[in-house]
Structure 1
């Protein structure tokens, strides 16, 4: 019986150490990808912020790389999937746009918009999309393809929307144009001078 146990042990030992590594696991080393991701994160996801102040209202435009949202949604475990999704969506741009009154008053009140509060909320949700467009360095005009209004229910001292633009080369420099009908401050321009270095995550 002891001899049989020894033979089984030797067989199991040999079977475990003679197995070749799965070729897929050899290709799954993503340390270089993680280094690139770390470098992009170190730059600061939201480091490209441009602010204009007109009277007592600050208008803040921030370009955030599409990888930020992919990683926020999918996590850092499977960076190859993130990279694949980035490749499919790299012609999309997401801009965060914030409105803030210097004394932190509610900007959607009638004092600022000239309309009822519920109408101002509807405008932020549905009408604001038509007030934004992007001009590329090749002088192409790209309309805003969608807006997501982040409702704060009077808790945060600002109003924020996410602006979506499609069909823009990831290396293209852009200028955001905002024609302000909500607060009637005119046309504001935000020049995003440098593009993020595209990386494979």
Structure 2
């Protein structure tokens, strides 16, 4: 988590000193001060929405929305912010939600005592079957299924399990509620209301 935050701060510090971009031909300076400022505002907020947590018995479940600009910068770098803008415009209806599981005594939640599965089966479930347990409901009452999950294995180093949830076809201004039907730990249905949406960024 420390490395994650350091990488965010590193990107932000570079953006502060990155004063101009170029046009598509690569030879005409273009002022990108407003772009850098808008990205810096996201960085000041920690690149995330507020944490939304619920506790069921001895497990805390936390959902956090991360703006896709963060992942674009992480993947592409900040050498061409206009490319970042173009990619954002193409993908702005995508949503990424970081979801973590943490046991109150910092036990490894993939142990059989928590899942009733073998450790290997638990890892496979987190990696390949978890997407079926999540969906979002928009303020317009549309139901959007999870299109994919990326399980970030920590190999028992961190005291939590983390996945990234991917959803498509959602207006960037739309408020959503995440619904989790927990079949792995059998804690029932949990709901996470995201009331703080990000203003669409015109990079």
- The equivalent position to 2:115 in structure 1, one of 110, 113, 116, is 113
Q: State the 1:49 CA deviation.
A: 1.1
| Contact 1:48–1:64, Cα closer than 8 Å, also in 2 | no
| Contact 2:94–2:168, Cα closer than 8 Å, also in 1 | yes
Equivalent in the alignment of 1:83:
85
| Contact 1:106–1:158, Cα closer than 8 Å, also in 2 | yes
Equivalent in the alignment of 1:11:
none
- The structure 1 segments of at least 4 consecutive aligned residues displaced by more than 6 Å after TM superposition are none
Equivalent in the alignment of 1:102:
104
Unaligned runs of 5+ in 2: 1-22
Equivalent in the alignment of 1:158:
160
More helix by share: 1
Equivalent in the alignment of 1:16:
none
> Aligned partners of 2:48, 2:70: CA distance in 1, in Å?
9
Equivalent in the alignment of 2:36:
34
Aligned residues: 180
> Aligned partners of 2:73, 2:27: CA distance in 1, in Å?
22
- The equivalent position to 1:189 in structure 2, one of 188, 191, 202, is 191
TM-score (norm 1): 0.86
Q: State the 1:43 CA deviation.
A: 1.9
TM-score (norm 2): 0.85
Q: State the 1:28 CA deviation.
A: 1.9
Unaligned runs of 5+ in 1: 1-21
Equivalent in the alignment of 2:19:
none
Q: State the 1:47 CA deviation.
A: 3.8
> Aligned partners of 1:57, 1:158: CA distance in 2, in Å?
10
| Contact 2:65–2:97, Cα closer than 8 Å, also in 1 | yes
> Aligned partners of 2:158, 2:54: CA distance in 1, in Å?
20
| Contact 1:136–1:174, Cα closer than 8 Å, also in 2 | yes
Equivalent in the alignment of 1:67:
69
Larger Rg: 1
Q: State the 1:24 CA deviation.
A: 6.4
> Aligned partners of 2:165, 2:26: CA distance in 1, in Å?
39
> Aligned partners of 1:35, 1:107: CA distance in 2, in Å?
41
Q: State the 1:46 CA deviation.
A: 2.1
> Aligned partners of 2:101, 2:123: CA distance in 1, in Å?
13
SS in 1 for 2:158: coil
**How big is the alpha-carbon RMSD for the aligned residues of Structure 1 and Structure 2?**
1.5
Q: State the 1:165 CA deviation.
A: 0.2
Q: State the 1:167 CA deviation.
A: 0.3
